[in-house]
Amino acid sequence: MDKINKALQKLDKKEKEAIRNILVKIKNKDFKGLDIKKLKSRNNIFRARRGNIRIIYYLKQERIMILSIERRSEKTYN
């Protein structure tokens, strides 16, 4: 089982739906209404935030790669 699926299993139904909506918006490059920031000292790596859930993703031209989905903690951005 990969890291993303494992992280999704830890979330409740409401959180999964919120994550799904965020991922659809990121895929469609519709960033309105999303809390997105570029990570410091990282090239093309961003974080989308919804409550205490963080989606870390890599964006390069037409390619989007989800790196992690995690609850906010001290280890989230390391």
Task: Please give the order of strands across the beta sheet that includes 45-50.
Answer: 35-38, 45-50, 53-60, 63-71
Across residues 28-44, what is the average pLDDT?
89
Give the CATH number of domain 3-71.
3.30.2310.20
- Asked which of 11-15, 20-24, 31-35, 71-75 is least confident by mean pLDDT, the reply is 71-75
Q: What pLDDT does residue 61 have?
A: 80
The pTM score is: 0.78
Q: What pLDDT does residue 76 have?
A: 58
Radius of gyration of the chain measured on its C-alpha atoms: 12
Q: Given pLDDT bands bounded at 50, 70 and 90, which one contains residue 78?
A: low
